[in-house]
């Protein structure tokens, strides 16, 4: 199964959700790939990849191979990197994605990632793929939505986020109708939840009124997440007994 973690609103913990759900899949013994499509490379950094390493290939190299003349083609597996977690791999990103985007759009390479990921999953190399999208609707987000089976929407229960959520639903509907008939919204992952806040509960009621699934448990705000970022290691390894880790494990079981 291929999941796009997508929300055009920034600051919702998209990368934290993507990497920790992926790490939980790997903990379950599922060979899992995180595809970092954000030029900032936060998911890559979190999973231990050093973009300055001269031998480290990234997704930019893959996209570059689709632009240039390559008689034999390039398999996406050539660009996959290991992580400190067993069964968890990353296709890292770097800043070259910014400058490369106009060329990819001009040459209509929007289906290349979909085709390459299908090859990887159909060959049995990975059972789960998590695509970490940038916080904008651009070439890379569209590539992810074209490739994905399901969309996971991180949501921070901010009042302004509800209208943004409606826009995400519209985008997914458009992609399904025009390009990817199998694409469905798996549901909303509530992040940075404050249990006793009346405003959060009110916003959550508005989300449920939209008619899409809201996964439980909700992910509560915790300093453990920031410490996990500093450690460059998802919670299942950096904080295995923490309450937030247990929440992620429960979510991963429900999602998969």
Q: How many Å apart are CA 236 and CA 16, to the nearest integer?
A: 12
**Which pTM does this prediction carry?**
0.95
81-82 β-sheet, strand order:
81-82, 88-91, 32-36, 128-132, 2-5, 150-155, 184-190, 214-215
82 pLDDT higher than 70: yes
Identify the domain containing residue 213 by its residue range: 2-255
Q: How many Å apart are CA 60 and CA 101, to the nearest integer?
A: 10
- CATH number of the domain bearing residue 37: 3.40.50.300
How many domains does the chain fold into? 1
Q: How confident is the model at residue 73 (pLDDT cuts 50, 70, 90)?
A: low
Q: How many Å apart are CA 133 and CA 141, to the nearest integer?
A: 5
147 pLDDT higher than 70: yes
% of residues, the chain, pLDDT over 90:
80
71 pLDDT higher than 50: no
161 pLDDT higher than 80: no
Averaged pLDDT, 79-92 = 96
Lowest-confidence segment of 72-81, 137-146, 147-156 by average pLDDT: 72-81
Cis bond before residue 3 (omega within 30° of 0): no
CA distances from 63 to 22, 50, 116, 166 (A): 23, 19, 11, 31
């Amino acid at each position: 199964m291929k999941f796009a973690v997508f929300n055009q609103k920034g600051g919702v913990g998209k990368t934290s959700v993507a990497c920790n759900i992926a790490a939980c899949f790997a903990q379950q013994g599922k060979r899992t790939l995180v595809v970092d499509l954000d030029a900032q490379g936060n998911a890559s950094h979190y999973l231990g990849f050093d973009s300055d390493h001269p031998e480290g290939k990234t997704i930019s190299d893959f996209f570059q191979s689709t632009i240039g003349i390559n008689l034999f083609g390039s398999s996406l597996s050539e660009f996959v990197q290991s992580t400190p977690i067993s069964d968890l791999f990353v296709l890292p990103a770097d800043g070259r994605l910014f400058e490369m985007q106009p060329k990819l759009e001009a040459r209509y390479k929007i289906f290349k990632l979909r085709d390459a990921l299908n090859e990887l999953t159909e060959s049995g190399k990975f059972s789960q793929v998590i695509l970490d999208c940038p916080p904008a609707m651009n070439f890379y987000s569209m590539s992810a939505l074209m490739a994905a089976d399901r969309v996971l929407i991180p949501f921070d229960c901010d009042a302004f986020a509800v209208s943004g959520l409606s826009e995400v639903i519209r985008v997914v509907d458009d992609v399904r109708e025009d390009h990817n008939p199998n694409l469905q919204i798996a549901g909303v992952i509530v992040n940075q939840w404050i249990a006793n806040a009346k405003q959060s509960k009110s916003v959550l009621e508005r989300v449920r009124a939209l008619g899409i699934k809201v996964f439980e448990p909700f992910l509560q705000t915790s300093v453990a997440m920031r410490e996990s970022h500093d450690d460059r290691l998802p919670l299942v390894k950096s904080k295995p007994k923490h309450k937030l880790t247990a929440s992620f494990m429960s979510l991963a079981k429900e999602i998969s």
